[in-house]
Chain A
Amino acid sequence: MIGWCNEMTSMSKDATVAEVEANASAPAGVSSSRKGAKGGKRNKHDASEVSKDRKIASNGSLAPWLFLLPAMVVVIVFFIIPFFNTLRLSFTNATLLNPGHFIGLDNFRKMFEDDHVKTALLNSSLYVVCIVPCMVFFPLILAALVSGKGKIMGFFRTSFYMPVVVSTVIVGLIWTNLLDDRGLINSIFKSFHWITKSIPFLTDRWLLLFSAMIVTIWTGLGYYMVIYLSALANVDPSLYEAAELDGCGPISRFFHVTMPGVRSTMVLIMLLSSIAAFRVFNEVYVLTGGTAGVGGQDMTMSILIKREGTGLQARTGYTGAISMLMFVILGTLIAIEYIIQRKADKDA
């Protein structure tokens, strides 16, 4: 313990004399550490010295910064610097091999005329619009179904969460098999004579996007179900009893007690699922075998960034502009999400 304090105080002394002087207790701390440095003083460490050490530890020393150092390095090197670098790149014509030079807003102008960007924006937005209602309602139904006690309900909860833990790449491969022209889904439809020709789930421009959405919903249901379960646990059980006494059936209880009780959670999930949906990459990438559909018609924003920003021909400057566009859209959603979550936490 004393060893650490010694190091701390001597480091702060070396580092910034001003800081030590500014701190009234620091000189005393230094002297106590010098005593310690002469060795063998540990046992004589009396109460007054302890209180000095305490002040050092909580005010003047470098200890807090040592605690923070690894995290700060990683966060700054891999999030903060890349963010400002992306911003900088977006105003240049840099490529992977060439640092490029400042070109003003050209990238942004070009971006809004680029058909790939338009397609990606359309697909990612469509993804949000189609997926969010499903993510808000189906998991709530699931949560209401499995919210009871007992082993059977526990079994169903675990089962329903299973798709969440499996990598979306694996999930994508499973569904590639299922949705294939001769896959299980088409076979089932054929055996009921609903169709005679296979539905081209994996080749048609719109069906492909729709199939990817099905996969996303399939993997997300369990996740949002768990969020709803914790919200349902906070709904006053006496409300259900009262509703039952008033003659409400299970379905009307769902609409009149469950749904109002989790309203703030529904808003939260609406935002969480919009953010996740707009970022979609894995499902579309795997289902299209990395091609984003014929001629890139099923491109999403994340796939576009990956495609434009990697490889030897990567246009990092242009990709920076696309990244900033995505950041503005997502950043807005994330900021709203955070404000709402903060408010919900305060209310709770």
Chain B
Amino acid sequence: MHKSSITAGKVVQYIFLVLFFIVLVGPIVWQIALAFKGPNDNIYAVPPYFLPKDFTWGNFTKALATIPVLRYVLNSAIVALISVCGNVIGASFAGYALARLKFKGKGLATMVVFAAMMIPVETVIISQFLIIRDMDLQNTLLAAALPGLIQPINIMLMMNAFRGIPDEMEEAAKVDGANVWQRFFNICVPQVKGTTTVVAIFSFVGAWNDFLWPLIVLGDDSQYTLTVGLNKLRGTFYSDPRLIAAGTVLALIPIVIFFLIFQRYFFRGVEAGGIKG
């Protein structure tokens, strides 16, 4: 009796798992199949069918020929790389100072970072644009990366990580004559590798997927990041969903591979930085 109720529960559990799987992964898989459907496939068939009957790679070549997807990928990669470097370096340095150094004005500095963390980016985005315009940087990839270069939330994450290092480790290094920079690079940075990886990954994905800011600051086609460029797909290929599908599949591949490699850090990051919804 007892045992059979467990198996019944398991069956129900797996039914729900498969249902959720279809709902959450299905649309992506459907899009991939659509990208391979040729001109002789009826993509509007009722009832719909999944596997391409007229299999073709042509949608990809056509999408690539019409929209410089690879250029956009490169632009996004540059912006993401700048963002990763800025956040990892800037947030580590600042986090260390706020967590482990004593100095005048520390309370004020912490408050500034904290206040900045509370400001939703949409509410200052126009002023951010005005500053970029004053710097005469609009339409550059640097501008696309700048406001998110060192995110307050990342400073906070690094600060918490550095706080977790036992004082004895740094004390011992001090006695051995290590100065603050040596202690930072040789003792403390290696201790917070996990959080640093989380910061790096979330900066990468954040910059890669950012849409509103690059949409505002990049006006020139050649500077478009992937999200802004792909948004144009809808206008350009509205009549042919196969090409939209091909474009989205091309854009999906890098980020999905990236996710599969680093997935455990993704999960850790979500747990660590709840606020970054």
Contact = CB atoms under 8 A, between A and B. Distances in A.
A76 B131 contact: no
B65 interface: no
B64 interface: no
Contacts of A160: 20-21, 24
Nearest to A161: B266
B30 A184 contact: yes
Interface string A48-81: 0010011001110101110110111011111111
Contacts of A285: 211, 231
Interface in B220-266: 226-227, 230-231, 233-235, 241, 244-245, 247-248, 251-252, 255-256, 258-260, 263, 266
Contacts of B89: 70
B155 interface: yes
Nearest to A78: B147
Contacts, number: 304
Contact of B131 (A50, A77, A250, A341): A77
B251 A324 contact: no
Contact of B30 (A71, A74, A178, A276): A178
B244 to A, nearest CB: 6
Given A63-B180, A78-B131, A162-B25, A167 B146 contact: no
Contacts of A167: 208-209, 211, 226-227, 230, 251, 255
Contacts of A53: 177, 179
Contact of A173 (B12, B150, B178, B244): B244
Contacts of A158: 260, 263
A81 B93 contact: no
A72 B244 contact: no
A72 B277 contact: no
Residue of B24, B212, B231 ringed by the most chain A CB atoms within 10 A: B24
Given A81-B131, A145-B17, A323 B267 contact: no
Contact of B46 (A71, A164, A174, A187): A187
Contacts of B109: 68, 72
A169 B72 CA distance: 14
B13 interface: yes
Interface of A: 1, 4-5, 45, 50, 53-54, 57-59, 61, 63-65, 67-68, 70-72, 74-83, 85-86, 89, 141-142, 145-146, 156-170, 173-178, 180, 182-184, 187-188, 190-191, 218, 221-223, 226-227, 229-230, 249-250, 268, 272-273, 275-276, 279, 281-282, 285-286, 289-290, 301-302, 305-306, 309-310, 314, 316, 319-320, 323-324, 326-327, 330-331, 334-335, 337-338, 341
Interface of B: 5, 9, 12-13, 16-17, 20-21, 23-25, 27-28, 30-31, 34, 44-48, 86, 89-91, 93-94, 96-98, 101-103, 105-106, 109, 112-113, 115-116, 118-120, 122-131, 146-147, 149-150, 152, 155, 174-175, 177-182, 184, 205, 208-209, 211-212, 215-216, 226-227, 230-231, 233-235, 241, 244-245, 247-248, 251-252, 255-256, 258-260, 263, 266-267, 270-271, 274-275, 277
13 contacts: A57-B180, A68-B94, A78-B146, A78-B149, A81-B127, A167-B230, A174-B28, A184-B48, A187-B47, A187-B48, A188-B48, A310-B129, A323-B125
